[in-house]
C-alpha cells in the first residue's frame, strides 16, 4: 500500500518537467552533465581553471581596455624608440643595460600610473569591483602591468641582439642583464599602481618621494651624512643588485636573494594598495531628480531593486491575508 501511495507522486514529479519541485524550479534533465571522476585533468582544464580566476579575468579585462584605446600600441612604439636611442650607437653591455634600466623603468612607471588611473575610474572600477572584488581588481591590475613590463623588456633585449656593434654580448651577460631589467621594471610597475590616486593621497606620495630622495642620496654618496643615513638605503639594495647584473654577468646567491626580496616587494605593495584602496569610498549612483512635469526613467539597478521590494512586499501581504483567513 505504501508503494501505491508513492507511485503517483513520483510519476507526477517526473511528468512536471517545466513545473516546480518542492518550491524550487525543476531541473532540465538534458542540462545534467555527469562528471567522470576517473578522467584525468588535461592542460585545457588547467588553463580554463586558471583563466577563470578573478585576478586573471580582471587582468585580461584591463589589457583589453588598454589595447582598445591604443595605449599598448603607444607603449610599444615608445619602447622601440627607446631601444633605438639606447642601442643604436653601440657600446659596452654594462653601460647599455644600465641606460636601458633607467629608460624602461621610467616608461614602465608612466604606463602603470596611466593604466591604474583609467582602471580606478568609478565608471570602470565599480562594475569590476561588484563582479569580482576589490582585491581581485588590485591584483589583476598588478598582473596586467607586470605582464606588459615583461613583454617590453623582452622586446628590448631581442631588438638589442640585432645590433652587432655592442661589445661583450655573451649569453651569461645577456641573461643576467635581461633578468635584472625585467625584475626592476616589474617592481616599478607595482609601485606605480600603489602610488596612483585614489590608492594614496597627495600627502602620502610626497612623503614617499621625500624618503626616496633620502635613500638615493645615501646610496649614491659617500660623505658623513650619507653614512649616517645608511639604514635608508637598505630597501634599494635589491634594485641596485639588479642594476649591476649586466656589469658582472653573474647572479649568484646575492642575486637570488635580491630576486626573493623583489618578490616580497611586489606582494607587499599589492597588499598595501588593496588596504589603502579600501579607505576610498566610491560614489553610489543615485536616481536623477525629476523636474516639475517630467517623468524620469529609473536606472536598471534601481528598477531591479524596486521590483524586488515590490515582490517581497506583495508576498508578505499575501501571507498575512492567508493567515488571517485560516484563523477565521
Q: How many CB atoms lie within 10 A of CB 245?
A: 27
Structural element, H or E, at residue 24 = strand 24-25
Q: Compute φ and ψ for 284, nearest 5 degrees.
A: -95, 135
Burial class (CB in 10 A: 0-12, 13-18, 19+), 83: buried
| pLDDT per residue as tens, the chain (328 positions) | 444 444 444 444 444 444 444 444 444 444 444 445 455 656 555 555 555 688 999 999 999 999 998 989 999 888 888 888 777 766 677 777 888 888 899 999 999 999 999 999 999 999 999 999 999 999 999 999 999 999 988 888 887 777 656 676 778 888 888 899 999 999 999 999 999 988 999 999 999 999 999 999 988 888 888 888 888 889 999 998 888 887 777 888 888 999 999 999 999 999 999 999 988 767 654 444 445 555 545 544 444 445 544 544 555 555 554 555 554 4
Collect all residues with Cβ–Cβ distance below 8 Å to 229 and sequence separation of at least 6: 214, 215, 217, 218
Residue 28 three-state SS? coil
**CA distance linking residue 185 with residue 152, whole number of Å:** 9
Query: Would residue 307 count as lying in a domain?
Result: no
Residue 203: domain span: 52-277
pLDDT given for residue 47 in this prediction: 53
Residue 19 three-state SS? coil
Query: Would residue 28 count as lying in a domain?
Result: no
pLDDT given for residue 226 in this prediction: 85
**Residue 292 corresponds to which cell in the numbers above?**
516639475
Query: Would residue 59 count as lying in a domain?
Result: yes
Query: Would residue 285 count as lying in a domain?
Result: no
Query: Would residue 203 count as lying in a domain?
Result: yes
pLDDT given for residue 182 in this prediction: 92
Q: Compute φ and ψ for 210, nearest 5 degrees.
A: -65, -45
Nearest alpha carbon to residue 266 among 207, 153, 176, 189: 189
Query: Would residue 79 count as lying in a domain?
Result: yes
Q: How many CB atoms lie within 10 A of CB 255?
A: 20
pLDDT given for residue 109 in this prediction: 93
pTM for the model stands at 0.71
List, in sequence order, every residue forming a beta bridge with 167; answer none if it has no partner: 92
pLDDT given for residue 310 in this prediction: 52
Query: Would residue 2 count as lying in a domain?
Result: no
**Residue 253 corresponds to which cell in the numbers above?**
646567491
pLDDT given for residue 159 in this prediction: 79
Q: Compute φ and ψ for 159, nearest 5 degrees.
A: -70, -35
Strands (E), 74-201: 91-92, 166-167
Query: Would residue 89 count as lying in a domain?
Result: yes
Is the sign of the CA dihedral 182, 183, 188, 190 positive or negative?
positive
Our count of domains for the chain comes to: 1
pLDDT given for residue 13 in this prediction: 42
**CA distance linking residue 249 with residue 219, whole number of Å:** 22
Collect all residues with Cβ–Cβ distance below 8 Å to 327 and sequence separation of at least 6: none
DSSP structure class, residue 89: T
Amino acid at each position: 500500500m505504501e508503494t501505491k501511495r508513492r507511485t503517483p507522486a513520483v510519476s507526477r514529479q517526473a511528468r512536471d518537467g517545466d513545473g516546480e519541485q518542492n518550491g524550487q524550479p525543476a531541473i532540465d534533465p538534458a542540462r545534467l552533465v555527469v562528471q567522470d571522476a576517473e578522467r584525468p585533468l588535461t592542460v585545457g582544464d588547467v588553463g580554463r581553471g586558471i583563466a577563470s580566476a578573478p585576478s586573471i579575468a580582471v587582468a585580461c579585462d584591463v589589457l583589453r581596455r588598454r589595447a582598445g584605446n591604443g595605449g599598448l600600441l603607444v607603449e610599444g612604439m615608445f619602447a622601440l624608440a627607446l631601444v633605438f636611442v639606447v642601442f643604436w650607437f653601440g657600446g659596452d653591455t654594462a653601460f647599455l643595460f644600465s641606460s636601458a634600466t633607467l629608460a624602461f623603468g621610467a616608461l614602465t612607471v608612466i604606463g602603470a600610473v596611466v593604466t591604474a588611473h583609467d582602471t580606478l575610474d568609478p565608471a570602470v572600477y565599480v562594475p569590476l569591483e561588484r563582479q569580482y572584488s576589490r582585491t581581485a581588481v588590485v591584483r589583476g591590475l598588478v598582473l596586467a602591468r607586470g605582464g606588459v613590463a615583461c613583454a617590453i623588456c623582452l622586446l628590448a633585449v631581442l631588438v638589442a641582439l640585432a645590433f652587432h656593434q655592442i661589445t661583450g654580448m655573451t649569453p651569461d651577460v645577456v641573461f643576467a642583464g635581461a633578468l635584472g631589467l625585467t625584475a626592476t621594471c616589474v617592481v616599478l610597475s607595482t609601485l606605480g599602481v600603489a602610488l596612483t590616486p585614489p590608492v594614496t593621497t597627495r600627502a602620502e606620495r610626497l612623503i614617499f618621494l621625500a624618503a626616496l630622495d633620502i635613500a638615493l642620496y645615501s646610496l649614491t654618496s659617500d660623505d658623513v651624512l650619507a653614512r649616517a643615513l645608511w639604514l635608508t638605503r637598505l630597501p634599494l639594495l635589491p634594485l641596485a643588485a639588479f642594476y649591476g647584473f649586466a656589469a658582472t654577468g653573474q647572479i649568484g646567491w646575492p642575486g637570488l636573494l635580491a630576486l626573493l626580496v623583489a618578490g616580497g616587494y611586489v606582494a607587499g605593495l599589492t597588499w598595501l594598495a588593496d588596504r589603502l584602496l579600501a579607505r576610498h569610498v566610491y560614489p553610489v549612483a543615485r536616481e536623477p531628480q525629476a523636474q516639475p512635469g517630467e517623468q524620469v526613467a529609473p536606472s536598471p539597478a534601481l528598477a531591479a531593486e524596486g521590483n524586488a521590494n515590490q515582490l517581497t512586499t506583495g508576498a508578505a501581504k499575501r501571507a498575512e491575508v492567508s493567515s488571517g483567513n485560516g484563523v477565521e
